[in-house]
Amino acid sequence: MSTHRPRLLRVLAIAATAAVLAVSGCGAKASDPTSEFHYALNAQPPLLDPLLSTATATAEVARLMFEPLLTQDADFQVQPHIAESWEESDDGKTTTFTIREGLTFHSGAPVTAEDVEASLDRWMEISGVGQQFFAGADVEVVGDREVAVHTPEKMYTLLYFLSDPGQMTAIMPKKVIDETPAEGLTEFVGTGPFVFDTWRTDQYIQLHRFEDYQSPEGEPSGLAGHREAKSDTLIIDLVTDSSTRLAGLQTGEYDAAAGIPFDNSGLLEKDTTLQSIVGENGFNGVAFNKKAGIMADNTMRNAVAAALDHEDIQLAAFAADEFYDVNGAISLPGQQFYTEAGLELFNQQDPDLAKQLMEEAGYNGEPVRILTSREYEDHYNSAVVVEENLKKAGFNTQMVVVDWATLLSMRADENAFELFTTGWSVNAVPVTQVFLLGSWPGWTDDDELSQAMNELTFAADDEAAAEANDRLQTRVYEYRPIIKYGNKRTIVGASVDAEGVQFVPGAGIVLWNAHMTK
């Protein structure tokens, strides 16, 4: 048994319509078993350890190699994965998970209860959600294929924490965990459909099919259901320039590519050799440095919020309103936790109020550094308008434009920025949003937010959870850990001969079934 005392201190039914979009063709022949599939990723992953990074690029690659205890389907509902079933005790403080029989790691070793225990230990110790919510939690092997999670109190949101794809409960061998340094994994041994081969920085990541892979059962839905590595080799080309990704699609160098510029959407539609996937992709915004500098002052953060025109920002980022909306809610309409509480403070478009708040805060022309990257063009284009809005209100702004990997490094330095641009996935429950966690860059630290998060996490029933969620979103708009611009969509381009490429809302690109039919 192991007890967690992390450095920092949530089963729901999500009524969301979260479509999974797949590239497919009618009457296509089976894939060549020795085929390669080339996918152009638009950002360099900072690392491939899914517990030490919240970067989308890391998650999209890591989920090909590693698999979680539980997962979520297209409707954000919890589904089995490494665990085939679970049972809750009468008092709700213990949940026992039964591991699927006969699973093996890429190394050939069987998956044991001790491996699952060690993996959950590591997740609770170093992931943002684990640190925030699992103080005092115990993980215990209670049978040959059974592992129990004990929590001090019944968690209304427990299963959603354990199935959250942002920093998944990646199951790996205990031996690997025991030998992993603090800097992160050096061996990438999981149970997923693909096995790690090599990573050439700034060039590509290569994986090959796991011949002994055992898929969960069921129709594919979101991150749940059947998986099959249909390509012998999967090559993830790291291509940060959007024009190069598009040209590679057109020439056939890439079979699919992320982050197609929105003003090129018409080109994809006209090209009979290509097809596009347009999917719900969370939301963009700016995160504040609340630990050091002038944005540690809540009044200054409210001044920034008052100065922004969200419609102009979204239009600059996404080119046409079919690719965005201007909605400030943390959840999507239709999800269980969608609420309009606090939205009277969203998209104020009031430069005069901004100036008044700046004066109240004693602003004296200190630089406001906006950290952004061109590798995500929507981030950069929105940052240009943010800077214009802030200058109009009287802020002394400085754009700091770097590559994405450098941005991820700089945003961990409290002396390097006032704002940074980024995006967030839509989650099943709002408390898993990383911008609410004190361990995430921006360093949220607010007693009222923490109280609302705990009230939702340990809610007695749906009504109490909804009330806590209203308080949570209202406090987000008062405290301003971030500014959300609105919801967004994304375009993934692919050859018409590609099948099995999925875009999953809340998670991103999924490639385990991807293959070429010709």
Instruction: Please report the pLDDT score of residue 19 as a whole number.
Output: 34
35/283 Cα distance (integer angstroms): 35
Among 71, 178, 161, smallest CA distance to 124 is for 161
* CB 228 within 8 Å of CB 512: yes
End-to-end CA gap in the chain = 52
Question: Residue type for 251, please?
Answer: T
Among 166, 192, 160, 190, smallest CA distance to 78 is for 160
Helix (H) or strand (E) holding 96: strand 94-99
How far is C-alpha 440 from the geometric centre of its chain's CA atoms?
13
Instruction: Please report the pLDDT score of residue 506 as a whole number.
Output: 83
Residue 449 makes CB contacts below 8 A (sequence gap 6+) with 436, 472, 475, 476, 479, 481
**Other C-beta atoms within 10 Å of 34: how many?**
9
Domains along the chain with CATH numbers: 36-255+497-516 (3.40.190.10), 280-490 (3.10.105.10)
Instruction: Please report the pLDDT score of residue 501 as a whole number.
Output: 93
395/397 Cα distance (integer angstroms): 6
**Other C-beta atoms within 10 Å of 4: how many?**
17
What are the beta bridge partners of residue 398?
A: 369
**Residues 373, 377, 383, 389, Cα dihedral to 10°:** 160
Helix extents (H) in 233-376: 242-251, 265-270, 298-307, 310-318, 351-361
Among 268, 241, 235, smallest CA distance to 253 is for 235
Query: What is the model's pTM?
Result: 0.86
77/95 Cα distance (integer angstroms): 17
* CB 13 within 8 Å of CB 336: yes
How far is C-alpha 81 from the geometric centre of its chain's CA atoms?
19
Q: Write out the DSSP string of 23-71.
A: ---TTPPPPPTT-EEEEEESS--S-S-TTS---HHHHHHHHHH--BSEE
428/506 Cα distance (integer angstroms): 8
Question: Residue type for 482, please?
Answer: I
Report the side by side order of strands in the sheet with 146-150. Answer: 2-3, 138-141, 146-150, 94-99, 83-88
Helix extents (H) in 137-241: 158-163, 174-178
Question: Residue type for 281, please?
Answer: N
Q: pLDDT 10s digit of each residue in the chain, 518 long?
A: 444 333 222 233 333 333 333 443 333 333 444 589 999 999 999 999 999 998 889 999 999 999 999 999 999 999 999 999 999 999 999 999 999 999 999 999 999 999 999 999 999 999 989 998 998 999 999 999 999 999 999 999 999 999 999 899 999 999 999 999 999 999 999 999 999 999 999 999 999 999 999 999 999 999 999 999 999 999 999 999 999 999 999 999 999 999 999 999 999 999 999 999 888 899 999 999 999 999 999 999 999 999 999 999 999 999 999 999 999 999 999 899 999 999 999 999 999 999 999 999 999 999 999 999 999 999 999 999 999 999 999 999 999 999 998 999 999 999 999 999 999 999 999 999 999 999 899 999 999 999 999 999 999 999 999 999 999 999 999 999 999 999 999 999 999 999 999 889 888 899 999 999 98
* CB 487 within 8 Å of CB 330: no
Question: What are the C-alpha distances in Å from 119 to residues 169, 329, 467, 510?
Answer: 7, 34, 34, 23
What are the beta bridge partners of residue 390?
A: none
Instruction: Please report the pLDDT score of residue 166 as a whole number.
Output: 87
421/466 Cα distance (integer angstroms): 30
